[in-house]
Structure 1
Amino acid sequence: MPALKILFVSPEVEPFVKVGGLADMVGSLPKDLAKLGHDVRVVCPAYASMKLDGNIVARDEPLGVDVGAGAHWGRTWTTHLPGSQVPLYALEHDQFFGRPEVYAGPWGDHPDNDLRFIFLCRGALTLCQQLDWIPDVIHCHDWTTGFIPLLLNTTLRDTPIGRAATVFTIHNLEHQGYCDRRALDFAHVPVAEFRADSTESHGKVNMMKAGLYHSTKITTVSPTYAEEIKTAAGGFGLDHVLRFRAADLLGIVNGIDESTWNPATDKALPFNYTSANFGGKSTCKAALQKQLGLEIDPHIALFGVVSRFATQKGLDLLAEALPYVLDRMHVQFAVLGSGDGALETTFRELAEKFSGRLGLHVGFNGKLARLIQAGSDFFVMPSRAEPCGLTQLYAMRYGTPPIVRATGGLVDTVEQFVEDTGEGTGFKFQDATAPALYNTIGWANATYYDRPDEYRQLRRNGMARDFSWRTSAASYVNAYEWAIAARRPD
């Protein structure tokens, strides 16, 4: 098949606006697809908080989007993804995006999120027609773009852009975009689509469900997560839809931007290093210990954590296990994160009780996050659920073996350590319990002290793995071609 025209539509794009791993994917994958020779473009909202530089310019032609009672007019800003020629189009509309937050403010979710992201969906399709550039395939991301496949199957089916195939990627099935029936009216979608096998769920419109039923093909961010979401335990009420669409569902592991996440060149680190020379990692460890008020000791095992404080991330399990770990093992912990107020309080109390051995920073600090990845000896991710996960990939890239619960993408990306051989890249445990986490931390700690040669091999193994987008990009091209063949069998 010749070069493809591929449109990404997303609420987040790294480095312009980021809430989670979705932004990392949309900021990286298009660049690797472009390197393969494809014509790739990205559309996102122009939030008030977007990090824009002097290279962005406004298009002369205003953007009239046919939603609501009449056209909503906006403006399109254009730039490129950094380090590439991939065009980025940011849709400006003061009513919908002239606020700094992406999804929610201190009061909770924005009550007009349905209208905001329907404007994004219809606006992206309108922009393609304005540019006279009709994509072969539109790559949609999560519930915010769920109305794109719906529009292409209904209102816009017989227009030129109606021939475009869609690939809908589930990043986190838990968030589904429930809203009122006004969403259909605002999008000019036939009221007949308010039914159980289209958009209706529990008497509401479900924007994720719309994307799942109407997309040409569906992907998610790891093969294991693709299986988990077809079960009642992991499907968040949509498992029956995913079983119905199982033949069109594919799991592809996320990659990372290895030009950015590279311990040999990372400017955020006090000293760089490679798998052939770990001297710089020791310097990073000392800098991390100093910054978080830990006793500076090059020999003690240092465990790092960078996470939201949430039960989904298993931070309650860590909080329960930590007093026993710190009482009984010769270890230190460096913890960075924020979220649940009760968990924040618990970790503050633990940091006070174990001063000098548990260093804590509540909040987000990108530079400190990288230092924890580089300066720690192990990286802890006790997640109850993890569709793919990126921080374990960063940890292995930085020579820091991860300790993970065997769920979602953590199963697919971390290889279990094998004693006596030094094989593997980290440590996995099955049960989402504090004792299971405690025992696995103990196993890793014993390996650090009792099997230093195998521990060093474990670090090198992780750094040698290819976690770039190259392999995943080729898999997505296959998915795009599969979708195009299904949408346009001619």
Structure 2
Amino acid sequence: MSKKRLKILFAASEVAGFAKTGGLADVAGALPKAIKKLGHDIIVVMPRYYQIDKNSLKKLEAPLGVPMGSMGELWAGVYTTSLAQSEVPVYFIDYEKYFGRSGLYDDHEGSYEDNANRFIFFSKATLQLSKMLQFAPDIVHANDWHTAAMTLMMKTRFVHDFAFAKSVLTIHNLAHQGIFHKNVMDILEVGWEHFNAHEFESLNSANLLKGGIMHADALTTVSKQYAKEIQTPEFGFGLQDHIRAHSGKLFGILNGVDYSEWNPSLDNAIAKKYDIGDMSGKSECKRDIQRHFGLELREDVPLIGFIGRFVEQKGIGLISTVINGLLDLDVQIVMLGTGERWAVSFFDDVAFHRQNFGLHVGYSDVLAHKIEAGCDMFLMPSLFEPCGLNQIYGLRYGTLPIVRATGGLDDTITNFDEHHKNGNGFKFYDASAEALYYTVLWAVEIYRKDKSAFKDMQERAMKEHFSWDDSAKRYEAVYRYVLEKKHTLKPNL
């Protein structure tokens, strides 16, 4: 007997290919396609931000009414297209007052003051759109605080239309919880009785993620290690006890990688394609990066890359402490990213004074591909990292990751064992500048003194496989778990 084909409503505040600030967008752009390949009916909903050209989209004729409690009913437009290289529909909620801005969540002055209203509006609009499309989902899949409150809305304000649907909430980064003035309860329209310490109340403020965690039928995080870490004071950001109380419905599912996009044998963005059988093209990719950043064209020098936000979470403080010491090791380092002003200014000054350091402030997808392909090693000293994707990209490109053992970094990187000559990268455990420095020093020494071990490690790394197809099967197991109500045992994930 074949299993039932599921209908899934997938809501995310950002989706790769349209608007992106981090890993959430990568998941939202890839996971629905993999779920679709399993034979399920899935639609994706996101805001239409100012940066998304509506002329490239198809507009739905009917406007969408969105109830906003004491604010009354607001009317939105809806546009649609498909995820790239797929038949997965994407719907865009168009409301200029909330989404016609330069940033997704913030601008140079900081976070938008009305973010609560913006994403409560989006959450309600998503459910309203499902009704308008007559798409009756089996599963409503919410992501992070932006859509977390949908898990309770389905049981209260929208119960008549979603009485038979179940909810799954994925936590991509617990550091962001959606904490606002308690008056947002009037906009939520779920009832003030839910403003209590077990649901939405947090130090007399409303915590949207906390309430979503309480009411979700299942919780997922983006790696098994992160699922454990968020139940501890170090990584729980004040919600560790709350999450432990709901750990019976918590699953850690590692993110996958779209190998049609991140694959050195197929990558049109890099200087020369290569693969395990013939890695000669990697040398040309290295020269390409050196030329791009104005570095000396040397094959013998270790080239280390960093791609990410210049924020404390990514270990940027650790890097800033040791960067000059690392550059004194006769290595080349290139960095791509932007973030906190002090960090941008600091690394800009390093780039001015050091000829073996290259900096690109901002983000470039093409340059990201070039760095993954052209570097010998990739640096990710994150203080915490729910999953991380750049280290997995690095593996496929034979660019050995140097990581702190946390979250998905710990799950995906096996530390090099000099005695048994195995492993796919280099790990350190203490969140200290000293640990970072000596781990990079170790990696550089292996690169220089044991070329065969380094090359063997590159080949092992390139054989690693973290597919979205595998991740999608695990999400499917969670979906069926909540629908079949067999909560005595978790599915074997």
Q: What TM-score range do you get, normalising by the shorter chain?
A: over 0.9
- Structure 2 unaligned residues grouped into runs of 5+: 489-493
Q: State the shift of 1:269 in Å.
A: 0.8
| Aligned residues of 1:305 and 1:335 also touching (Cα < 8 A) | yes
Alignment of 1:277-296 (within 5 A): 277-296=278-297
Distance 1:53 1:445, change over 3 A: farther
What do residues 220-261 of structure 1 show as CA deviations (whole Å, max 9, x unaligned)?
011111111111111111111101001111111111111111
Equivalent of residue 15 in structure 1, options 14, 17, 22: 17
Q: State the shift of 1:76 in Å.
A: 1.1
Alignment of 1:353-432 (within 5 A): 353-355=353-355, 357-432=356-431
Give the partner amino acid of 1:10: A
Q: Structure 1 stretch 69-78 or stretch 399-408: which is displaced more? A: 69-78
**Which residue in 2 is equivalent to 1:35?**
37
Q: Structure 1 stretch 188-197 or stretch 345-354: which is displaced more? A: 345-354
Q: Structure 1 stretch 306-315 or stretch 64-73: which is displaced more? A: 64-73
| Aligned residues of 1:164 and 1:487 also touching (Cα < 8 A) | no
* SS of corresponding position for 1:260: coil
| Aligned residues of 2:120 and 2:149 also touching (Cα < 8 A) | yes
In the aligned structure 2, how far is the partner of 1:200 from the partner of 1:50? 35
In the aligned structure 1, how far is the partner of 2:231 from the partner of 2:4? 34
**Which residue in 2 is equivalent to 1:198?**
199
Asked if residue 347 in structure 1 is aligned to residue 350 in structure 2, the reply is no
* SS of corresponding position for 1:6: strand
In the aligned structure 1, how far is the partner of 2:467 from the partner of 2:377? 21
**Which residue in 1 is equivalent to 2:132?**
130
In the aligned structure 1, how far is the partner of 2:358 from the partner of 2:189? 53
| Aligned residues of 2:155 and 2:162 also touching (Cα < 8 A) | no
What do residues 345-370 of structure 1 show as CA deviations (whole Å, max 9, x unaligned)?
32223223321x11222222222221
Alignment of 1:66-465 (within 5 A): 66-68=67-69, 69-157=71-159, 159-327=160-328, 329-355=329-355, 357-465=356-464
- Structure 1 unaligned residues grouped into runs of 5+: none
In the aligned structure 2, how far is the partner of 1:224 from the partner of 1:66? 39
* SS of corresponding position for 2:241: helix
| Aligned residues of 2:481 and 2:487 also touching (Cα < 8 A) | no
In the aligned structure 2, how far is the partner of 1:111 from the partner of 1:487? 42
In the aligned structure 2, how far is the partner of 1:161 from the partner of 1:154? 9
| Aligned residues of 1:313 and 1:381 also touching (Cα < 8 A) | yes
Distance 1:224 1:363, change over 3 A: same
Distance 1:488 1:279, change over 3 A: closer
In the aligned structure 1, how far is the partner of 2:408 from the partner of 2:479? 22
Give the partner amino acid of 2:7: K
Give the partner amino acid of 1:472: S
What do residues 281-324 of structure 1 show as CA deviations (whole Å, max 9, x unaligned)?
10010010111111100121111111211221112212222222
Distance 1:488 1:347, change over 3 A: closer
Q: Structure 1 stretch 444-453 or stretch 283-292: which is displaced more? A: 444-453
Distance 1:105 1:351, change over 3 A: closer
In the aligned structure 1, how far is the partner of 2:338 from the partner of 2:135? 43
| Aligned residues of 1:21 and 1:390 also touching (Cα < 8 A) | yes
* SS of corresponding position for 1:387: coil
What do residues 88-138 of structure 1 show as CA deviations (whole Å, max 9, x unaligned)?
110111222222321112221111111111111111111111111111001
Q: State the shift of 1:409 in Å.
A: 0.8
| 4+ residue segments displaced more than 4 Å | none
Q: State the shift of 1:51 in Å.
A: 4.7
In the aligned structure 1, how far is the partner of 2:486 from the partner of 2:163? 10
Q: State the shift of 1:60 in Å.
A: 1.5
| Aligned residues of 1:80 and 1:86 also touching (Cα < 8 A) | yes
For normalisation by structure 2, the TM-score amounts to 0.95
In the aligned structure 2, how far is the partner of 1:470 from the partner of 1:332? 36
In the aligned structure 1, how far is the partner of 2:385 from the partner of 2:423? 20
What do residues 12-32 of structure 1 show as CA deviations (whole Å, max 9, x unaligned)?
011011111100000000001
| Aligned residues of 1:163 and 1:487 also touching (Cα < 8 A) | no
In the aligned structure 1, how far is the partner of 2:368 from the partner of 2:177? 29
* SS of corresponding position for 1:383: coil
Give the partner amino acid of 1:115: N
* SS of corresponding position for 2:234: coil
